[in-house]
Structure 1
Amino acid sequence: MTPALVDTHVHLYADAYDADRDAVVARARAAGVAQMILPAVDLASVDDVLALCDRHVGVFGMAGLHPTYLGDAPEEAAERIGPLLQDRHIIAVGETGLDYYWSREHEERQRASLAAHARLAAAHRLPLSLHNRDKKDSDDASRDLVAILREVKAEAGDALTGVFHCFGGPTWLAHEVLDLGFFVGLGGTLTFKNAGVPDAIADVPLDRIVLETDGPYLAPTPHRGSRNEPAYVALVAQTLARVRGLTVGEVAEATTANARRLFGLPDS
């Protein structure tokens, strides 16, 4: 029997699941997904996350402000994240980070928000879930993100940890992630033929990898282009097993142990 899986990053509250959300959860259970972690993107989504944590066993949440939502967020939004971290369902801070892909109009605010989230995570000893996206042939966001984390790490030490979700490089970034004591989160892009993710994680040991879907986005092959859902984390595990020359059971056992250690999840 294959060990249980953990989807460490799925937007289960998204509108894409409104018609069949309970069925999505049931399919995840049938696929061996024992636990799911839901990142927030803004203040309203934190309420949605908490409602789903109350509704479903094995569902846990994060509180945070996604960088692409900051332009519409009130100036005091970041100050309202701290109190939300007291809720028993909140086990991480996020999703936060930097996104220079769509626009750099709010990049100063993005950097300030990331630093504030990182300090909150360290103060509450909760892991940080990081979004990181650049335009093609640029690594400005990656370099700024690492610089900010290093600054906070210098203050907080081992109290700051977390995961670079939807990791895809650039190649040099994996070494920085490991040096910071962070994990890499692998999802559907690992299965994409020309995305280069296997090369980007070539030097990342298995004990620093967690699995995710980022559903409803970035569905893995053979579902690419359709709605993603947490059951598909099993396809990510299968691909990682093939890339590493391991059994699916070995990948599931290791990545689930990693997720439970990083996020402080119960064993079942």
Structure 2
Amino acid sequence: MMLIDTHTHLYSDDFESDRKEMIERAVQAGIGRMYMPGIDSSCINDMLLLEQQYPEVCIPMMGLHPCYVKENYKQELQIVKDWLDKRPFVAVGEIGLDFYWDSTFADQQLEAFNLQMEWALEKNIPIVIHTRNAMQPTIEAVKPFAARGLRGIFHCFSGSYESAVQITNMGFHLGIGGVLTYKNAGLPAALEKIDLSFMVLETDAPYLTPVPFRGKRNETAYVTYVAEKLAEVKQVSVETIAEITTQNALKIFHG
């Protein structure tokens, strides 16, 4: 039984003391691939080093995260574009809109999002979306690109059933992580009527740790707890969850 973590920040400083052991724990737990989102230029070297150390296991994306769209966003976007032109990546991500802390750069976030979606279409690769306090604006931004064939994942989905329907109707997938295990999240109810063919698993490690480790550092091995909870919600076996979500992830990222 192989699981895939479609979203994990393995290069994070939170893993500085035990990164090798943490990755080995994940491999031993049956996680065969770990997809790493780019956030800004500061993480690129560490991310690509992990790719070299764990080829075909630690797999990088390239993108500018909306929270890192600041005064220098045009320079950061140019770095993303240069890397996308230099070598292949499995996805453009994580990209999107985030109005949780601050909307000072809301217009620039949308500009960066649209530009990176255009690059993904040009490269014929999917996108991985970060959206927080901006679900509907994000969906509306994606719609015209989805109509042109763009596909990808709404990472860390924690929205309503209605949002899930809009997302899956565009052909996009839902990234399901630790939020699913939170008592008052309401996510299980939102997913009950959504087909498993639109779901992939993730941790967003070191963030959003699932129960029973909530409050501690998250790590990729804990994707097994998300799989178990999703199996409970969908009333199927964990093996079925592993098989379907793994095939979904491989299809999205072109194997």
TM-score (norm 1): 0.91
CA distance in 1, matches of 2:63, 2:219: 21
Q: Contact (CA 8 Å) 2:160, 2:187: kept in 1 or not?
A: no
Instruction: State whether structure 2 residue 149 is matched by structure 1 residue 151.
Output: no
Q: What is the aligned partner in structure 2 of residue 84 from structure 1?
A: 83
What is the aligned partner in structure 1 of residue 253 from structure 2? Answer: 263
Give ranges in structure 2 of 5+ residues lacking alignment: none
Q: Which residue of 1 aligns with 2:112?
A: 113
Conserved? CA contact 2:205–2:217, under 8 Å = yes
Counterpart residue number, 2:2: 4
One-letter amino acid of the structure 2 residue matched with residue 245 of structure 1: Q
- 1:126-165, Cα deviation, whole Å (9 max, x unpaired): 110001111xxxxxx11211111112334xx22x100000
Taking a change above 3 Å as real, the CA distance of residues 130 and 51 of structure 1, as seen in their structure-2 partners, is same
CA distance in 1, matches of 2:204, 2:111: 24
* CA distance 1:48–1:72, shift in 2 (3 Å): farther
Q: Contact 1:46–1:62 (CA<8 Å) still a contact in 2?
A: no
1:14 aligned partner: 12
Q: 1:244 aligns with which of 227, 230, 234?
A: 234
Write the distance in 1 (CA, Å) between the matches of 2:220 and 2:120.
25
34-43 vs 76-85, which moves further: 76-85
Query: Residue type matched to 1:94 in 2?
Result: G
Q: 1:115: how far off?
A: 0.6
Measured after TM superposition, the shift of residue 89 of structure 1 is 6.0
Q: Are 1:177 and 2:167 counterparts? A: yes
Aligned amino acid, residue 63 of structure 2? G
Query: What is the rounded CA distance, in whole Å, between the counterparts of 2:86 and 2:200 in structure 1?
Result: 24
Alignment of 1:92-111 (within 5 A): 92-111=91-110
Q: Quick check: 2:98–2:131 contact (8 Å CA) kept in 1? A: yes
| Per-residue CA distance 1:34-80 (angstroms, 9 max, x = gap) | 10000011012122211110111311011111111112544232132
Q: Secondary structure of the equivalent of 1:102? A: coil
Count of aligned residue pairs for this structure pair:
254
- Give the RMSD, CA atoms, in angstroms: 1.3
Partner of 1:190: 180
Shift of 1:199: 1.7
CA separation of 1:79 and 1:203: change in aligned 2, threshold 3 A? farther
**Could you give the per-residue CA deviations for residues 210-258 of structure 1, whole angstroms, max 9, x where no partner exists?**
0000000011000001000000001100000011111110100110010
CA distance in 2, matches of 1:37, 1:199: 27
Matched, 1:206 2:204: no
Q: 2 CA distance for matches of 1:100 and 1:24? A: 32
The residue aligned with 1:65 is 64
Q: Distance in 1 between matches of 2:86 and 2:244?
A: 28
Q: Percent identity?
A: 38
| Alpha-carbon contact 2:146-2:171 (below 8 Å) kept | no
Is the CA contact 1:169–1:201 (under 8 Å) kept in the aligned structure 2? no
- In structure 1, list runs of 5 or more residues that go unmatched: 135-140
Whole-angstrom distance in 2 between the partners of 1:89 and 1:51: 15
Matched residue SS, 1:94: strand
TM-score (norm 2): 0.96
